[in-house]
Amino acid sequence: MSADLIRPDFALPVRGSSYTRPARELVDSLSAVSSATACAKLHQFGIRRSYVDGPEPLTTGQRVVGPAITLQFMPMREDMALPQREDGAAGVEQEYAERHTALWHVLEAVKPGDVLVIQAYGSRFSGCVGDILARYFARRGGAGIIVDGRIRDAGRIRDLGLPVWSTGTTPHYASQSELVPWAYDVPVAVGGALCMPGDLVVADDDGPVIVPQAMASQVVESARDHEEWEVFSRMRLDEGARLSDYYPLTPDSREEYEAWLSAQSSVR
């Protein structure tokens, strides 16, 4: 850092307010809901942007549902450089200085089942998470990672089996280029969607969706009916029925569906 720069009186990392994670029963009930159904239901309820645009699965066929724990990157600025060595010696490696940032702190806050949601502005040059950090996250019980940006060590992370959605890969470490880990447990913007700490994340091959915690039960209840009548509709379409009669259900086909559902319940 240049001697001419004056460091502002501002302490990093920033940590947001405390929040409540959703009950395990609520998370489990949402586990049967696809991201497409969750997104559609939220749209019906008035939430217009729940889809996290950009991140794609590192490994297809994986799925994760869990409470969001959040990490925010911010643009790097020279007067807010990462901490220097305590003995004042110059030239401390920036990668080692990252241990003082929100990236390390958020990993120590992870609880079993958490989904780490990272705001990184779709940066192509910041490897927000690598092999070692992903391993530590998984060992603490983390369920998956959503990165609006890139990761590094993709092959090793894939071998871990940890579900990860990102916009791609890079050889850079987290603060090597244009961003620095800044805050955790704060609201983040990911792929055009707002994610609050404690919201629920549903992610599969169609992409990640953010479900507001207070609306999760409503989504589950509505999705249960939706996915059950889709089973009925597929069956009828496979039998040769007209699409317009069974997708979505008309009043007549809804009545037929109710009769079919009642018959299925009596057999169980």
Question: Structure tokens of 175?
Answer: 């603060």
**Do the Cβ atoms of 162 and 66 come closer than 8 Å?**
no
Q: Over the stretch 160-208, which tens digit does the pLDDT of each residue have?
A: 999 999 999 999 998 888 899 999 999 999 999 999 999 999 999 999 9
Three-state secondary structure call for residue 228: helix
Domain topology for 14-211: Glucose Oxidase; domain 1 (3.50.30)
* Adjacent-strand bridge partners of 210: 201
Does residue 91 surpass a pLDDT of 50? no
d(CA 58, CA 161): 10
- What per-residue confidence (pLDDT) applies to 265? 75
- What per-residue confidence (pLDDT) applies to 9? 83
- Report pTM: 0.88
Q: Domain limits of the chain?
A: 14-211, 218-267
Does residue 262 surpass a pLDDT of 90? no
Does residue 31 surpass a pLDDT of 50? yes
